[in-house]
Amino acid sequence: MISGQKRWITNGAAADYLLLAVRTGESRHNGISMVVFPTDVKGYTVGRKLKKIGNVASDTAELFFDECRIPKRYIVGQENRGFYYIMENFQGERLATALLVNSFMDRSLELAIQYGKDREAFGQPVGSFQVWRHRFAEHRASVEAARWMAYRAADLMTRGKKADREVTMAKLVSTDLAQRVTYDCQQTFGGFGYTTEYPIGRIWRDMRLYTIGAGTSEVMKEILAKHEGF
């Protein structure tokens, strides 16, 4: 029997099935199991769709479970090993996040540089002012460094090597950098950057999620500190 609630569930309002982590034992880490949960089970309800700043193309839901019953055969993998499955999956999600964020930084710079060439102020293109030329040069170098951190982590994972440290670094560096890069790229557009007429506004809003999702930047720092023996 499953009772409780879950929040921040991506596409939760539209899902026919959930991959659900449930407590099946008393141990803190060894008492969680993964189950396939059909959303037509009696006692299951979607509470509401949470209103978000960005990433509005998919819903984020609050879910409720009131004495829901499913067969034991719906358990995925070994019983009580769910916590470890979640932690393993997080590594893939964090690496995917780093790669995704890098692609959006590339796109943000492309948009801002092109706008900087087209838009004129005081008789010259906005992008030709030294403050922007140097800013874009710095960002290009930083994004390239972040990309190779992600590639290094991907290479280790592909070869079956342990990559917890490298994935965590890639996620931390890429998502924090994205806040600065998209901010400056939006700033290049001036007032238009604060409208919905250009895609840079959406990118800026959406990128804000990624220092939070799949483990916050603060959690990433805690993980890295543990790798250093603190």
Average pLDDT, integer, range 169-177: 98
Whether residue 149 has pLDDT greater than 90: yes
pLDDT at residue 128 in the model:
95
pLDDT at residue 43 in the model:
98
- Contacts of the segment 130-137: beta carbons below 8 A, 24+ positions apart: 132/188, 135/184, 136/109, 136/112
Average pLDDT, integer, range 161-171: 97
Average pLDDT, integer, range 125-132: 96
- Intervals of CATH 1.20.140.10 along the chain: 83-227
CATH architecture of the domain covering 83-227: Up-down Bundle (1.20)
Catalytic residues: 93
pLDDT at residue 36 in the model:
98
pLDDT at residue 29 in the model:
86
pLDDT at residue 27 in the model:
85
Whether residue 53 has pLDDT greater than 90: yes
- Intervals of CATH 2.40.110.10 along the chain: 2-76
pLDDT at residue 109 in the model:
98
Query: CATH homologous superfamily of domain 2-76?
Result: Butyryl-CoA Dehydrogenase, subunit A, domain 2 (2.40.110.10)
Whether residue 28 has pLDDT greater than 90: no
For 185-199, how does the pLDDT look when each residue is reduced to its tens digit (9 = 90+)?
999 999 999 999 999
For 90-123, how does the pLDDT look when each residue is reduced to its tens digit (9 = 90+)?
999 999 999 999 999 999 999 999 999 999 999 9
Q: Which residues are paired to 125 by β-bridges? A: 120
Q: What is the share, in percent, of the chain residues with pLDDT greater than 90?
A: 97
pLDDT at residue 72 in the model:
95
